[in-house]
Structure 1
């Protein structure tokens, strides 16, 4: 197994792809078996895919746009203009494939169809992969996960992230096998038994404040314990929404360090949480989220800090390495999905985030990181979930 991670900040798409292609060629290895590829929104996506298909003909390619840039083991590039990055994997002992399907009003079916296409490309139709990795347009991730479970059952771990743009303006794109989409799901199937590790975590702590959703559906909470949801949240947070009570409005920057959490499972009686990020409130006191909820679920007010968002990166990296069977192992590379909202909150400390990841993975392990509008992963108890403000990490080793 061999990996190469390369990036470019060249403003012209063709030249940028040429730089990452040259990085692979410089290692003198045969063609990769899988390429992960993420880029900021400013590039022409069709041009990027045309050039990547020319640079890596016939190679499964998976990825999407990343909020304000990408990061690698060499540093973080958010807000620095155009940037793109690639993780190329050569693994003659494994099998890999990528498929894509437009969501087109049927995200559950799209998840299954994309995975079936990926299996065909891998030459493994009817088989169960070691891991599934996805990049989806934001909005229907839970249904996509359900479609993957329809095909593979509940025991195949799933990870990935939702494509993002710079300003939540709908300019996100998904990349698959030389094609570019704006409302699709891209699925990679990975057959590499014993050589893949993963971890999924929030890095936030629960407070003592919790309530039951008494009115809620989809991605909206209308009432908590019978009271308007925004009113309850405002009280919990000491008036964080006070100036918006009459009009409603965007909450993105106000709620990043105080999201809502639901218990996803327990280990030794200790709960672990999947997070929902309140993104706006309405004038009648409802909270809109970036993930689905249901009436009857209990939500907790969670709390984080800049320091916790920095340190969690290393903890999740170590957890992913520790999940590998048969240690000691040689970690060859990693794919990191880091919430864009968290990145924007700790923008001035992204160098520390990169260093935390390097400490967790090993100082010489190359990684590619994308900043996403939703994160998917498999918790330690085996639950595949979609959440917000999370980190999802995949490692390759031998």
Structure 2
């Protein structure tokens, strides 16, 4: 089971209630920004939504959660311990899952992905989203059948007998404005082409769109102009990993919701309303093209960025209509997160912002 909910719900009480009613069902979930979406529509909060996946006895699922108040966020041994616990929970010690669900509170998602890849020695498909709240006030949280956390990480290892496909995409287009990151640290860009990153970013937006971005960060405005780094290419066409600013700092640095490295080329990206309305259904459609045996779609998990959802406003209803049409009315659940984890078409797992991540489940032939 997966469970998504808005910040109005107490995660400890929710986890306890679900565990009491479903004592033998492994689950994880996280808080979602302002609402959730299912095949029945967009549901504005306060709201709780669940998705059940029922498989035969050959399948297994194992979950684990860690609270990071007293742990090192970037410690690979923490991920190793969680994976060991989840493998034991699934009774699949020594085996490799075919899907990993990942939810964490914002902060170190890239390190978690790297540690997962290193532990298994291969790029197992990951789908996930960073817990969100309504106003970036750290009111986010995680739940699982093992407990709850307001600062942590939860994983679920999935050993499924039926086929599945995954998708991960941006839906924004590159502009002509780009430069080299000449100074970065963690999730801070300090300099682009030797100049204060804040000034460069503001200038790019002004020259591209004729708009001035004030010192005070406005979440649904900045979502129109993320920053992109080329993650790879397919048929000589680049695909991008996106991030976006949270705050402008007094020293000229720009704080992001994802890590960035010195020496990378970074580019101003842009997206029209029509692009953002269509992209969730497009990511699902592209994932479904991997369904080589044309098996019957029976459900999906879709992770949608909160930033573009907020910018779209009432347009989220059109997102739902296109997505539901693409899914042919089959069950799906979609939270709105502050970071998305997924597997690019090139096979690598990554964490980004303003992205769409999906996994589609099929009936066997």
TM-score range, shorter chain: over 0.9
Residue in structure 1 matching 2:154, options 186, 202, 214: 186
CA distance in 2, matches of 1:191, 1:332: 17
Residue in structure 1 matching 2:131, options 137, 141, 163: 163
2:296 maps to 1:330: yes
2:235 paired residue number: 268
Q: Which runs of 4+ in 1 moved over 6 A?
A: none
**Structure 1 residues 260 and 250, CA gap change in structure 2 (3 angstroms):** same
Residue in structure 2 matching 1:361, options 315, 327, 330: 327
Q: Quote how far apart the aligned CAs of 1:183 are.
A: 1.2
Q: Equivalent residue of 1:237, what SS?
A: helix
- Normalised by the length of structure 2, the TM-score is 0.94
CA contact (8 A) 1:110 1:144 kept: no
Q: Quote how far apart the aligned CAs of 1:243 are.
A: 6.2
2:127 maps to 1:127: no
Residue in structure 1 matching 2:53, options 83, 89, 94: 89
Q: Quote how far apart the aligned CAs of 1:293 are.
A: 0.5
2:31 paired residue number: 65
CA contact (8 A) 1:111 1:185 kept: no
Residue in structure 1 matching 2:143, options 170, 175, 179: 175
Which segment is superposed worse, 190-199 or 282-291?
190-199
- Normalised by the length of structure 1, the TM-score is 0.86
Q: Quote how far apart the aligned CAs of 1:251 are.
A: 4.5
Q: Quote how far apart the aligned CAs of 1:122 are.
A: 1.0
Residue in structure 1 matching 2:199, options 227, 231, 237: 231
CA distance in 1, matches of 2:280, 2:18: 29
Residue in structure 2 matching 1:43, options 2, 6, 9: 9
Task: Between the two structures, name the one with larger relative contact order (CA 8 Å, sep ≥ 6).
Answer: 2
CA distance in 2, matches of 1:312, 1:243: 26
CA contact (8 A) 2:66 2:149 kept: no
Q: Equivalent residue of 2:350, what SS?
A: strand
Q: Quote how far apart the aligned CAs of 1:315 are.
A: 0.4
Q: Equivalent residue of 1:51, what SS?
A: helix
2:172 maps to 1:204: yes
CA distance in 2, matches of 1:229, 1:154: 35
1:349 paired residue number: 315
Which segment is superposed worse, 188-197 or 255-264?
188-197
Once the two structures are superposed, residues 132-188 of structure 1 have per-residue CA deviations (whole angstroms, 9 ceiling, x without a partner) of: 111101111011112211211232111100011111111111011151111111111
1:249 paired residue number: 216
CA distance in 1, matches of 2:212, 2:277: 29
1:55 paired residue number: 21
CA distance in 1, matches of 2:24, 2:148: 16
Residue in structure 2 matching 1:379, options 341, 344, 359: 344
CA distance in 2, matches of 1:267, 1:193: 29
**Structure 1 residues 331 and 256, CA gap change in structure 2 (3 angstroms):** same
CA contact (8 A) 2:102 2:153 kept: yes
1:29 paired residue number: none
RMSD: 1.6
